[in-house]
Structure 1
Amino acid sequence: MKLPLVLFLCVFLAYTAVANNYNSKSDTTINTFNKAYVYRVKKLQDVINIDGVIDENDWKQAQKADKFYRVLPVDTGFATQPSTMMMAYDDKALYVAQIFYDTIPGDRVMESFRRDFSFGNNDNLLIFFDTFLDQTNGFSFGVSASGAKWDGTMSNGHSISLDWDCKWEMKTKHYDNRWVSEMRIPFKSVRYPKGSKEWNVNFSRLDLKSNEKSAWAPVPRQFPTASLAYSGRMQFEEPLPKSKMQFSVIPYLLGGAAKDFEAGTSTDYRTDVGFDAKVGISSSMTLDLTYNPDFAQVEVDQQVTNIDRFELFFPEKRQFFLENSDLFSSYGYSHTLTPFFSRRIGLDAPVLAGARLSGKIGNDWRVGFMNMTTEETGENLARNFTVASVQKKMFTRSSLGFIAVNKEYFDVPSDTSMYNRVIGFDYNLASKDNVWDGKFFYHRSFQPDNPDKQYAQGAMLMYKTQHLNLGLFETSVGENYRAEAGYVRRTGYNFIGASAGYTFVPNKKVVNHGPSIKLDNYFNPDKDLIEHQYQFEYELTFANRAELGFEYTDHFVQLRNDFNPTQDPEHYLPEGSEYDFGLFSVSYQSTRKSLFTWQAEASKGSFYSGDIQYIQGEIGYRFQPYVNLTMNFNYTDMDLGDPFSREKFWLVGPKMDITFTDKIFWSTFVQYNEQIDNLNINSRFQWRYQPVSDIYLVYTDNYFTGNWNSRNRAVVLKMTYWFN
């Protein structure tokens, strides 16, 4: 396996210098791909009222950004429906005005009033600010046609985390031929360098009635409009005021009751208090503190049918761990092999307290430090989790990062050491034009009585143009690699993979279509093939943005452990047995502009020693913008032959989301899962009575699916308030 790795590294490192277009006199503003697109922001001469009426003289004098280029379904020409953006500022805030013309008959698409709306299900405006001119990190603000807000932090050049909220004003009004918004974004809500006079910016419009996505600074169709590599520039008339130190505290009060019917215990009543605090150390560095955090209001995970040999991955949803999370979670491969996965903290024991320091030092350095302590329980010792991350910008948009993770146990016997540690570095390649993307990393774990083969190493290189998509992938993980605070899907293997795809863009009813292939090969430490998965796919996208796909997967597996996909305790597929099977699938995603939407995937084929067929998907209907009804479903029929019994089970998850106003929300999610014999009900009421201050009422219940006896039940009332 050494020769492919050496060749891979030669190609990867040789291309790095070319792809980054390095200039020894580099200036991030000059290197912005769309540097010719400049918006000059004038200082206010009067007062602007945030009322959705664009009638102030400052708006008449402001520069008009009114030529939006199409990005989807094709990236040629201007958008069908005109758009106009304007900006102005004073010593305290940035003001933004938006006019989106709409003359196509029919209702505008607006799913709900909920903050941080689903991008693809709403007519909307998104704005992307690169305040440090690094084309990697930034802030995003937006508004849907219903007047719902969107705000988030940006990382990795295009990724947006919507779990960051700040205080800002916005008002939306609708007219027969247009919809209009005004915004006021306080400068204290964002971070920027001292003496800033220029940011990078782009405006993006999604107009579902015309089935078009467009942007002020043009973006190739293969990239999201959030790509900071393709942002334009905004120049302020005068330097911005010095960013003031920020300090905010969000305490909470909680009361609740829970009863475990299975255990037969009495009702457990509890009250609790805690807080989160945020301290602006500088204009670009933030200290977050938490004491006795509670996550009762966090949305429950969507359950899945589990017939996999490995641990399933569920994303983090707790807000404290999500802000600036890329500083800690972007190492390795986030969904298969990463040294730090925040869901390892606090799910099996309450979090006592924690602190996180994160931000930038100058334009080229980012640092992150997190320390969390969990309490001792009847099953687990108290533990401390410490993570440190440093990233150095390289060339135009690439970076070199170092991470150290330490999990330490408290109150262990004096002659015993209990810890797990990982250190590693990642090099992330991102070319100036986004066409090349890559990564190389090496991590090593340290644990008592586990001396050998504690390494994890990987590399990838991807090339993406409008028509061609190519990828090379390589991973090697030692048998004894342990990252207890991370997510490691499997150990003791070597992996080589490749992918290729070609997209035709005919610009007709079918706006793009094309084939793709993905070849994954796994080898044991002795270089013997133990698994391959070859996927062949053909996808079509229609003018209304509906999608149709066909896929065939050929799978070979030599089991390294006993495996039972039916979860039958008496029978299993034995270690060392080999299986070659294939599966054909067809999938469809309907257009998002209809009130009724649906997506589904149907599959049929062989599976290990037998056969399988399943259908899964989601249907939805909205009474916009107040009620959104969805239901995900999965029906699996699996027959592995003797001695296994045939298994048929349903997973059905109806969900009702009601947004009475932009401040009052109620959602109920029911999940019926035959595989685990459980019916779960989770109902959550939220009242945002002040900006970023909430009252939650959460009810949870679980039942057996056969006799419908209750397993456990809980209700929680929680109140938070933002002192800023």
Structure 2
Amino acid sequence: MKTVWIIIFILIPILSFSQNGGGNTRSLYKYHIKKTTNPITLDAAIGENEWNHHTPITNFYNHWPNDSGQAQNQTEVKMTYDSQNLYILAKCYDNGERIVQSLARDRDEDYWGSDNFSVALDPVNTKQSGFMFGVTAGGAEIEGSLTIEGSLTWLSENWDNKWASKTAQFSDYWLTEIAIPFKTLRYNANQQTWGINFIRGDKQNNAYTTWTQFPVNFNGISMNYMGSLEWDQSPEKAKGVFILNPYVTSSSVRDYENEDENEAQLKNDLGGEVKIALTSSLNLDLTLFPDFSNADVDEQVTNITRFNIFLPEQRNFFLENNDIFSNFGTYDVKPFFSRRIGIIEGDAIPIDFGGRLTGNISPNLRIGVMNVQTRQIGEYAAQNYSVGAFQQKVLKRSIIKGIFINRQATSTTTELEYSRNAGLEFSYVSESGKLNTTFLYHTSLTPENYKDTHFYGFDGYYSSKRLRTGWTLNVVGDNYITELGINPRLENYNAETEETVRLGYTLINPWLRYLTFTKDEDKKLNYHGLRTWHNLYLNSDGTFNESQNNAGYDFEYKNTARMILLARYRKVDLLFPTSLLGDDYTPIPVGDYSFVWSELRYSSDVRKTFVWNTNVNYGQFFNGTRLGTMIEGSLRFRPWGSFGITYDFNDVSLAENYGKDKIHLVRFNGDVSFSNKLSWRNVVQYNTQGDNFSIFSRLQWRYSPMSDIFLIFNENHDTTGLGIKNRSIVLKATYWL
């Protein structure tokens, strides 16, 4: 009964928010594009009669940190097209002082930290998915797919495809020309209106400006606040939509911990991907013997919680268009997480083949189907993984979506023969995007036919310029098993009996943030504000399990620096003996624990040559204390090099003989951009908790559009005697046909 009243209490603010109008920028901002009568040469130079027949956009509005008034440094944009490409010309006015963090492509942090120009497109014109293409003043490119979570638009820069740009700098402006092939985009043929917006990053002023004017609580790439691109004649279906992307690798790998392996294993592999546009808005991706050796190295982390942590996906095949599969559940429970495929206990399992069909089959219906087959390796059985999902747009912006997940063993195994999950969700999104709430129900199925296999609840938020507030309710059954998902709190480890026990729970998470924006130009702050969030976990029978109460204050400075002060209180009813610091210590016993701690976070001006940030926390920790400090410094020789070091230290001291440990994590990053096509990335990590010292180095040369040569070196040692564990050297070449 207690849970029911809590649910009703949380639903009251959800139902009390009115819809509020908004999102009508597509009718207010329109650009009429005309086909070019003269060839466009992509050279960052405005040729005679090349652009003078096309209407310019000359009025950009402030978006960040102030969403009122016109931009101080204006941008002029023109567009045209021919039978092959969409062309964009952008003239970005300034005083000649510019910041270019790096020349390397697809570096999200470096891109947004530089002077940049971006175009965001919604070719299907449904406000559900799209693309972004951007270039810095130094010519570093980034492209990505746009997806919707709730009412917010997010960019995934892991989507890659062919396009081109040229950039030139002058005394009072910089210029870029962009060419986007129609076959790169997914759109409905014969559709005469697309969604579009332009975003200008003016880093000297720490400002972002946009073509359309809309509230600052939505990011510049928001699909709800785009303008309209009106075609003089609708684009035809793109030709040449069959793309072959083969690869070849040559590798030398040795496992020094395997006594039977006395020398490096030399191996040559061949595989690749095929991309087929079945329609102008529906794409089929096929892969045979995929190789992920060029994926970025995982950043090692310190974990002194009771539950497992999950590192992000790094493999391109699973990242492209992944939102159709991954945008289910809430932040605490995710029914599908692609890193569960082809990786078991940190070991890579070879994938023989995979296929993925994604896109729109109608303006309001988007689908995704994926199938992947892994190989049998040792004790790990061969597995087939299938995922199907759909998103049906209803009302003006709301969505009904569903997912089905199946893992099926295809060779003899002593483990579960199969594991399946299914779910249905309804996301209500107001027309303005200020209010959204998702109601969800999921279930799982295994051969044991367990009861209590449910996961249901709701998740949402309300966002205005100053007030942002949200709510989450998760009710998870004892046997909601998500082999291909994330559900860390379900499995509880008993350190004394060495058993893992599944226990369902209810999570209630309200949060609130209120910001005060400064209007005085002489002030050092952009805004400051209070934040507070609270997590309450209940056992399946409604009794108390854990609570976390947090309060903080944010400061955002005009010079890009940030500071956050936090006070935190946690109470835990520990149900099982738990080893927080490893098996060498006595597990802390079952019982009630409550502890408080405080935290300071600060990051400096990212425009400086030397950039640093820190995180310091101190306070009680179960039956002891914890001091945590992280400091990170980076020396930037713009735009060609960035060299940084991170030191993360945790001093945990529990009572009596329950454990004391000093945990050290050191990470060195060295990135060199020889040009926009040649870059060198180096990462060295030393982690005492994971007993691992690793060296990663990757040289990448983009010798042709979407075609690369990689040279990768990876080596791992232990941290005691620095004995070597393994070493690999890989040469990989890809080619875009």
- TM-score range relative to shorter protein: over 0.9
What is the CA-CA distance between 1:643 and the residue it aligns to? 0.4
Against the structure 1 CA distance between its residues 247 and 61, is the aligned structure 2 distance closer, same or farther, given a 3 Å change threshold? same
Query: CA–CA distance in 2 between the matches of 1:629 and 1:457?
Result: 46
Q: 2:676 aligns to what?
A: 662
Helix, strand or coil at the partner of 2:77: strand
Q: Is the CA contact 2:101–2:636 (under 8 Å) kept in the aligned structure 1?
A: no
How many pairs align?
710
What residue ranges of structure 1 are gaps of 5+ in the alignment?
A: 22-29
Q: 1:489 aligns to what?
A: 488
Matched, 1:211 2:206: yes
Q: Is the CA contact 1:120–1:592 (under 8 Å) kept in the aligned structure 2?
A: no
Query: CA–CA distance in 2 between the matches of 1:307 and 1:722?
Result: 44
Q: 2:55 aligns to what?
A: 63
Map 1:423-502 → 2, pairs under 5 A: 423-491=422-490, 492-502=504-514
Against the structure 1 CA distance between its residues 707 and 374, is the aligned structure 2 distance closer, same or farther, given a 3 Å change threshold? same
Q: 1:158 aligns to what?
A: 153
Query: CA–CA distance in 1 between the matches of 2:108 and 2:619?
Result: 38
Q: 1:351 aligns to what?
A: 351
Helix, strand or coil at the partner of 2:672: strand
Give the residue type in structure 2 aligned to 1:495: L
Query: CA–CA distance in 1 between the matches of 2:171 and 2:133?
Result: 25
Helix, strand or coil at the partner of 2:481: coil
What is the CA-CA distance between 1:406 and the residue it aligns to? 0.5
Q: 1:93 aligns to what?
A: 85
What is the CA-CA distance between 1:146 and the residue it aligns to? 1.1
What is the CA-CA distance between 1:429 and the residue it aligns to? 2.5
Q: Is the CA contact 1:353–1:372 (under 8 Å) kept in the aligned structure 2?
A: yes
Query: CA–CA distance in 2 between the matches of 1:567 and 1:486?
Result: 26
> Larger deviation: 294-303 or 444-453?
444-453
Map 1:581-620 → 2, pairs under 5 A: 581-620=595-634
Helix, strand or coil at the partner of 1:59: coil
Matched, 1:537 2:533: no
> Larger deviation: 447-456 or 322-331?
447-456
Query: CA–CA distance in 2 between the matches of 1:451 and 1:615?
Result: 44
Give the residue type in structure 2 aligned to 1:411: S
> Larger deviation: 359-368 or 214-223?
214-223
Against the structure 1 CA distance between its residues 366 and 276, is the aligned structure 2 distance closer, same or farther, given a 3 Å change threshold? same
Map 1:299-338 → 2, pairs under 5 A: 299-333=296-330, 335-338=331-334
Matched, 1:552 2:548: no
Q: Is the CA contact 1:73–1:545 (under 8 Å) kept in the aligned structure 2?
A: no
Q: Is the CA contact 1:604–1:612 (under 8 Å) kept in the aligned structure 2?
A: yes
Matched, 1:370 2:365: no
Helix, strand or coil at the partner of 1:422: strand
Q: Is the CA contact 2:376–2:411 (under 8 Å) kept in the aligned structure 1?
A: no
Give the residue type in structure 2 aligned to 1:189: T
What is the CA-CA distance between 1:495 and the residue it aligns to? 1.3
Q: 2:592 aligns to what?
A: 578
Map 1:506-521 → 2, pairs under 5 A: 506-507=518-519, 508-521=523-536
User: Any idea what the Cα deviations from partners look like across 1:46-91, whole Å, max 9, x if unmatched?
Assistant: 1111110123424222222121111112112122212111111122
Q: Is the CA contact 2:102–2:673 (under 8 Å) kept in the aligned structure 1?
A: no
Query: CA–CA distance in 1 between the matches of 2:451 and 2:458?
Result: 22
What is the CA-CA distance between 1:5 and the residue it aligns to? 6.7
Q: Work out which of the residue numbers 528, 531, 534 in structure 1 matches 2:543.
A: 528
Map 1:228-267 → 2, pairs under 5 A: 228-244=223-239, 246-264=241-259, 265-266=261-262, 267=264
Q: 1:132 aligns to what?
A: 124
Query: CA–CA distance in 2 between the matches of 1:511 and 1:624?
Result: 26
Map 1:658-697 → 2, pairs under 5 A: 658-697=672-711
Q: 1:7 aligns to what?
A: 8
Give the residue type in structure 2 aligned to 1:474: L
Q: 2:500 aligns to what?
A: none
Query: CA–CA distance in 1 between the matches of 2:141 and 2:267?
Result: 34
Query: CA–CA distance in 1 between the matches of 2:274 and 2:581?
Result: 47
Map 1:145-294 → 2, pairs under 5 A: 145-156=137-148, 158-244=153-239, 246-264=241-259, 265-266=261-262, 267-294=264-291
Give TM-score, length-normalised by structure 2: 0.93
Against the structure 1 CA distance between its residues 410 and 174, is the aligned structure 2 distance closer, same or farther, given a 3 Å change threshold? same
What is the CA-CA distance between 1:498 and the residue it aligns to? 0.9
Give the residue type in structure 2 aligned to 1:510: L
Query: CA–CA distance in 1 between the matches of 2:12 and 2:623?
Result: 41
What is the CA-CA distance between 1:618 and the residue it aligns to? 2.4
Query: CA–CA distance in 2 between the matches of 1:387 and 1:421?
Result: 10
Helix, strand or coil at the partner of 2:138: coil
> Larger deviation: 349-358 or 53-62?
53-62
Query: CA–CA distance in 1 between the matches of 2:9 and 2:404?
Result: 26
What is the CA-CA distance between 1:613 and the residue it aligns to? 0.7
Against the structure 1 CA distance between its residues 298 and 8, is the aligned structure 2 distance closer, same or farther, given a 3 Å change threshold? farther
Identity in percent: 32
Map 1:97-112 → 2, pairs under 5 A: 97-103=89-95, 106-112=97-103
Give the residue type in structure 2 aligned to 1:387: V
> Larger deviation: 114-123 or 555-564?
114-123
Q: Is the CA contact 2:98–2:203 (under 8 Å) kept in the aligned structure 1?
A: no
Query: CA–CA distance in 2 between the matches of 1:700 and 1:384?
Result: 29
Superposition misfits of 4+ residues, deviation over 4 angstroms:
8-16
Map 1:617-636 → 2, pairs under 5 A: 617-636=631-650
Query: CA–CA distance in 2 between the matches of 1:306 and 1:454?
Result: 28
Q: 2:499 aligns to what?
A: none
Q: Is the CA contact 1:631–1:653 (under 8 Å) kept in the aligned structure 2?
A: yes
Query: CA–CA distance in 2 between the matches of 1:544 and 1:33?
Result: 30
> Larger deviation: 253-262 or 649-658?
253-262
Query: CA–CA distance in 1 between the matches of 2:200 and 2:441?
Result: 40
What is the CA-CA distance between 1:120 and the residue it aligns to? 2.8
Query: CA–CA distance in 2 between the matches of 1:623 and 1:478?
Result: 53
Query: CA–CA distance in 1 between the matches of 2:6 and 2:480?
Result: 19
Give the residue type in structure 1 aligned to 2:480: Y
Against the structure 1 CA distance between its residues 31 and 554, is the aligned structure 2 distance closer, same or farther, given a 3 Å change threshold? closer
Against the structure 1 CA distance between its residues 117 and 505, is the aligned structure 2 distance closer, same or farther, given a 3 Å change threshold? closer
Q: Is the CA contact 1:455–1:477 (under 8 Å) kept in the aligned structure 2?
A: yes
Helix, strand or coil at the partner of 1:158: strand
Query: CA–CA distance in 2 between the matches of 1:89 and 1:174?
Result: 24
Give the residue type in structure 1 aligned to 2:139: G
What is the CA-CA distance between 1:417 and the residue it aligns to? 6.8
Query: CA–CA distance in 2 between the matches of 1:176 and 1:113?
Result: 24
Query: CA–CA distance in 2 between the matches of 1:50 and 1:629?
Result: 33
Query: CA–CA distance in 1 between the matches of 2:350 and 2:577?
Result: 34
Query: CA–CA distance in 1 between the matches of 2:525 and 2:141?
Result: 33
Helix, strand or coil at the partner of 1:60: coil
User: Any idea what the Cα deviations from partners look like across 1:361-414, whole Å, max 9, x if unmatched?
Assistant: 111001111111111111211111110101100222221101000011123379
What is the CA-CA distance between 1:563 and the residue it aligns to? 1.6
What is the CA-CA distance between 1:13 and the residue it aligns to? 8.5
Give the residue type in structure 2 aligned to 1:565: L
Helix, strand or coil at the partner of 1:188: helix
Query: CA–CA distance in 1 between the matches of 2:9 and 2:194?
Result: 37
What is the CA-CA distance between 1:11 and the residue it aligns to? 5.2
Q: Is the CA contact 2:559–2:605 (under 8 Å) kept in the aligned structure 1?
A: yes
Query: CA–CA distance in 2 between the matches of 1:169 and 1:299?
Result: 24
What is the CA-CA distance between 1:704 and the residue it aligns to? 2.0
What is the CA-CA distance between 1:717 and the residue it aligns to? 1.0
